[in-house]
Structure 1
Amino acid sequence: MAKEDLAQLDGKVIDALAGGIYKVQLDNTVEISAKLCGKMRRFNIRVVVGDRVTVGVSPYDPTHGLIMYRHK
């Protein structure tokens, strides 16, 4: 599935787990687990607890996501 097919949702990072996995609480109060996309890892963009992020969520598995953007 291409990144353009993912649903873009905003949320807040509430926990950083082992292995580069983050717990994100979306604006609709649903909690999902998400990991960083490749460009964020490539350019060493750091995400810490409390950051506002945009998460790409697949329609096939809405419990996992991909952190696409870190808001300033």
Structure 2
Amino acid sequence: MSRDDLIHLEGAVTRTLGGGQMEVETEQGHTLRAVLSGRMKRFKIKVLVGDKVRVSVSPYDLSHGLITYRLK
């Protein structure tokens, strides 16, 4: 699956879970688990509880996603 096929949602980080996972509540009211993308790990971008983020979600599994961008 290419990067263009992913669904991009915006939301806020509500909890930090173990293993680098975070719980994100989207603007539509859905809650999903997400991990930092490789680029965010590579450039050491920190994401804390309360930060607004952009999450890329596969259309096949809407309960898991990748945090691809931290909004300002």
TM range (shorter): over 0.9
Long gaps (5+) in structure 2: none
Q: Which residue of 1 aligns with 2:9?
A: 9
The sequence identity of aligned pairs, in percent, is: 49
The alignment yields a C-alpha RMSD, in angstroms, of 0.6
Aligned structure 1 segments of 4 or more residues deviating by more than 6 angstroms: none
Per-residue CA deviations over 1:12-53 (Å, capped at 9, x if unaligned) read: 000000100000000011000000000000000000000000
Long gaps (5+) in structure 1: none
Distance in 2 of aligned mates of 1:69 and 1:23: 15
TM-score, normalised with respect to structure 2? 0.97
> One-letter code of the match for 1:23?
E
TM-score, normalised with respect to structure 1? 0.97
